[in-house]
């Protein structure tokens, strides 16, 4: 069973781009990883992800900052879903 799970993980890695992104909503700043299919040009896929007609965007390995509460600690999460209609800005994350 373990070998099958590893094969499935490898197939996923080979069929998807892992992109670190910066996402801003009216209340939060989120950085983390999204996964996109390995089709088309990599630099156009962020737009395609937002225009795919899905209501939520899965973000893994992410941080969450509160824009209106700067004294609040930055939260870390393994996974979160972001409502696409709440996204004001999404771009590749440059450290």
Tokens, residue 3: 């070998």
Residue 9 domain-assigned? no
> Which residue range is the domain that position 24 belongs to?
16-92
Comparing 45 with 49, the larger pLDDT belongs to: 49
Residue 5 domain-assigned? no
Assign residue 61 the CATH number of its domain: 2.30.30.100
User: What would the mean pLDDT of 14-43 be, rounded to a whole number?
Assistant: 83
User: What's the whole-model pTM score?
Assistant: 0.77
Q: Give the long-range contacts of residues 78-81, CB within 8 A, separation 24 or more.
A: 80/30, 80/32, 81/56, 81/57
For residue 61, pLDDT over 90 is answered with yes
Comparing 59 with 43, the larger pLDDT belongs to: 59
The number of folded domains in the chain is 1
State the pLDDT confidence band at 53, using cuts at 50, 70 and 90.
confident
């Amino acid at each position: 069973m373990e070998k099958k799970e590893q094969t499935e993980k490898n197939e996923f890695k080979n069929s998807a781009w892992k992109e670190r992104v910066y996402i801003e909503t009216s209340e939060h700043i989120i950085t983390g990883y999204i996964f996109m299919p390995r089709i088309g040009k990599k630099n156009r896929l962020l737009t395609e992800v937002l225009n795919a007609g899905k209501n939520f965007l899965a973000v893994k390995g992410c941080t969450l900052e509160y824009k209106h509460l700067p004294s609040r600690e930055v939260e870390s999460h393994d996974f979160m879903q972001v409502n696409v209609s709440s996204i004001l800005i999404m771009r590749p994350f440059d450290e």
